Structure 1
């Protein structure tokens, strides 16, 4: 019987996570089955790798991931006996982030399969408040059973070790990046939004939130030369307050909104239709994912990786990873003040091909996930009984 990798992903939209796609593809090539438990997202159809879509289930219990018998009972009721029987197949259980790991441990109470941690968001001990205390306790309890951990780079490995006590020797480093693919010629955003050919598109993709400098964007674009236009591409353009805020940004004449997310298969065309990427990460104390977790971003940004693959020069905020990597790869510029951003965009536009070549080199030498993912899957196979 083929080994089974069951991934517990406690969020919607797993198709937006390139590491999951790469994992499914690599394990599929090795003859594994992959099964995904996620929080209410419908990802049936293509999108999680060349191996084809795994079995997709949406039964995760809502609420906190507290330890103990109650969690195991909720999982058993949600999953049913047939799925629990499959969980005892030869294979591994992989939990994503603190809640996914705790849920995986609950599911593993009888199966006793090797438990693997996939870390994308780090909950730091010093940031645990009353709302996160149960989740942190459950994460630390589960860490005692973890046999292998995936994290993106040395910076995040050190941060995760400090936050959990997990040993560095049991961590595999895999950048959160799409696998290589041909970069198409694309005018997707210009066609969709009616942007004139002479304007230069600066793309931001993903969540619209404080950690993405949402409240600073109006001031930022006010410093840009008129040829540059910021395009916000996000699932989150809903709700009256957000719509009003986005309308006020659009009214500047310097911002366009692309609210309909493209399928995973079209992400290459989306990025290739832009001229630059904006990476405005900013640590803010809004949530456990948005402060120290952002400060130690490392190589966990899928949007930065996809832009580098497509040769987009990157305008980035003042984080350690960008200072470090852009010193070695001249693929972008780092701003420390909003008034610098227009000057930096103009500098990159004047030498765009040189920056684009460096972005592709940055991807090839630092972000290409194929060899690190293969090494991680070697270690997964070594865990099989």
Structure 2
């Protein structure tokens, strides 16, 4: 059995549509996936052909400090070498997710000659970090077999920020495999939402950048036969709202708060059954390296939008770039300037459209559209010798810590 190492520092692998689909694809072909991740609130269920390799909060902090503050390649090599000796078997391929995965995969690749693929979901920009911060990424990325990104907009950003070759990219929208499946039970009934109400849903992160507070406050202006279902991605809805200064007990009786936490992104049919509109708002706040240009150039990196479309739910969003353009071009939702305009948009979601949301998903986003080609690229990497340069290369010496 061939082994694949997935290095995913965020620790929410089964809540990421693309990662979940990639792991399913590899598992269906007989590969065993080992997932190295930091423990987090995200569920990590047991799964066939999956070996979980979690680590705790202390090591997570040490890694973040080393990679993001010190940006020390020497210390990174030391930590990864210790982990390599202590816990890792030999692997046939490494999937490096985002910055932490990229740094560690490059080190393991040099130690063993194992090919690695870089998968980008979050883009760090030099003018929001530092040259030193980006240097360790650029040096780590230079020997990846190929790299995966969600669209051409984000691909252009990575070419600029990580000195990657556009010819070596693989476009994969952040989306699950196949149409959504609805179970017999639905959350709206469990929550006691009247059957004669239409329901709009807000899923995912409840934060300032997702404009959750403004979205919830807009309900007072909604048509009287509409309700809002709020579902924080890990079931921590009430605590997330408290951090935003939103008191669940002082809001309209047409707002319902879910405490459910499905183990996998593919289990959201229970939450989304009987929903008539999906809300997706993004606002760059520039209060962290994740919420500035990374959101400005969102592209097709919105898991909540693709999930709504997968389940055939029209989308109401603001000006978020590619998805807003696609909503207008294919008429599977409504674009507004601000959540305060949701009230006017809700009735429009029931009108006939040029293309249904599920049709758009099937034609443009479905992971299965690209799965065969992606598997072929993985197998090509494993069949070819790794192109890693020796650690003593001139560039390494020039850029040494």
| Cα offsets for 1:340-372 (capped at 9, x unmatched) | 2211111213x2xx3496101110111111131
TM-score (norm 2): 0.84
1:264-318 per-residue CA deviation (whole Å, 9 max, x = no partner) reads 2521222223221000112211221212111221112222112111110111111
Distance, in Å, in 2 between the alignment partners of 1:26 and 1:244 is 38
Normalising by structure 1, what TM-score? 0.88
1:58-101 Cα offsets, whole Å, 9 max, x none, are 137323223423222223434544x33x23x4x12121111221
1:3 is matched with 2
Q: Is the 8 A contact 1:210 1:286 kept in 2?
A: no
Is 2:79 aligned against 1:74?
yes
Distance 1:251 1:263, change over 3 A: same
**2: distance between equivalents of 1:276 and 1:332?**
8
Structure 1 unmatched runs, 5+: 47-51
CA distance in 2, matches of 1:244, 1:291: 19
Give secondary structure in 1 for the equivalent of 2:268.
Answer: helix
**Following superposition of structure 1 onto structure 2, how do residues 1-385 of structure 1 map, counting pairs within 5 Å?**
2-41=1-40, 43-46=44-47, 52-59=48-55, 61-63=59-61, 64=64, 65=67, 66-78=71-83, 80-81=85-86, 83-84=87-88, 86-87=89-90, 89=91, 91-128=92-129, 135-181=133-179, 183-184=181-182, 188-234=186-232, 235=234, 236-237=236-237, 239=239, 242=242, 245-248=245-248, 251-264=251-264, 265-349=266-350, 351=351, 354-355=352-353, 358-384=356-382, 385=384
Shift of 1:233: 0.6
Is the 8 Å Cα contact of residues 151 and 173 (structure 2) preserved in structure 1?
yes
1:105 Cα deviation from its structure 2 partner: 2.0
Deviation for aligned residue 1:118: 0.4
2: CA distance between counterparts of 1:341 and 1:205?
16
Q: Which residue of 1 aligns with 2:389?
A: none
Q: CA deviation at 1:218?
A: 4.1
CA RMSD for the aligned pairs? 2.4
Q: CA deviation at 1:228?
A: 1.7
Is the CA contact (8 Å cut-off) linking 2:213 and 2:246 kept in structure 1? no
3-state SS of 2:319 partner? coil
> How big is the shift at 1:250?
5.5
Are the structure 2 counterparts of residues 146 and 242 from structure 1 closer, same or farther at C-alpha, using a change threshold of 3 Å?
A: same
* Bigger mean CA offset, 60-69 vs 257-266: 60-69
Query: Is the Cα contact below 8 Å between 2:215 and 2:340 reproduced in 1?
Result: no
After superposition, the Cα gap between the structure-2 partners of 1:250 and 1:303, relative to the gap in structure 1 and judged at 3 Å, is farther
8 Å Cα contact 2:118-2:147 kept in structure 1: yes
Any unmatched runs of 5+ in structure 2?
Answer: 385-401
Q: Deviations over 1:218-272 (max 9, x none)?
A: 4422332122222111124365972683424752334221122122252122222
Structure 1 residue 187, shift from structure 2 partner: 5.1
